[in-house]
Copies of this chain bind each other. A is one copy, B any other.
Amino acid sequence: MSLTPTHIHTVRDLFFRYGLKSMTMDELARQLGCSKKTIYEHYADKKVLVHAVLGGFLNEHRNEMAALDQNPDNAIAKLIRMAAIGFQKMRNLTPTILFDLQKSYPELWMELERYRKEEIVEIFKRLIERGQHEGLIRKEIDPSVVSIIHLQHTNLLLDPVVFSHLDRPLATIFHNIMEVFVGGITTPQGLEVWNTTKAQMNLQP
């Protein structure tokens, strides 16, 4: 048996839904309808499997970001689209899986942290700089500082204490965060772009 992409996607679902600890290899095999032997033929051990699944998740995001980076939108529009994708992906990261990652796969956890703190922040920093050249973002804004602020905004979604008791759709929370953030960094011209972009946007993909 060959463990198709569909299978690996099922594994991701299970890991994300029940956490890495609760989802044992036996349970995984049972849910996939295959034997453990088959899993171990494709993945040396559980750690490799977990890395493959989360690495895939991260790569997906990396690719989406790269694709967006290609297109010829203005900086503000890009920034918003990228943020939307980031927020959308965040919601899959439940407290359980984050907890299990930190505890049992610290290297992978650090890799995810690094990805966010370095790669993503770097992309946003460059976007903000571009926005400044385009005259859409105010010159007083320090791109390094502000891109970290954005990272912290996305972090808020991971903390169940912050917004979840409000019982608002992610779209609403996203919208408000962007309203503050974009409003806070744009020139009058940039604000116009934000208003038109906003009108076109559809957060649920």
Residue positions of A touching B, CB distance < 8 A: 17-19, 21-22, 94-96, 99-100, 103, 160, 166-171, 203-204
Contacts and interface: CB of A to CB of B under 8 A. Distances in A.
Contacts of A99: 18, 22
B167 A96 contact: no
A96 B169 contact: no
B168 A96 contact: no
Copies of this protein chain in the complex: 2
Contacts of A21: 19, 21-22
A167 B167 contact: no
26 contacts: A17-B95, A17-B96, A17-B160, A18-B19, A18-B95, A18-B96, A18-B99, A19-B19, A19-B21, A19-B22, A21-B21, A21-B22, A22-B22, A22-B99, A22-B100, A22-B103, A94-B94, A94-B96, A96-B96, A166-B204, A167-B169, A167-B170, A167-B171, A167-B203, A167-B204, A168-B169
Given A167-B170, A167-B204, A96 B22 contact: yes
Nearest to A169: B167
Contacts of A22: 19, 21-22, 96, 99-100, 103
Contacts of A168: 169
Given A19-B22, A21-B21, A167-B204, 13 more contacts: A17-B95, A17-B96, A17-B160, A18-B19, A18-B95, A19-B19, A19-B21, A19-B96, A21-B22, A22-B100, A94-B96, A96-B96, A167-B171
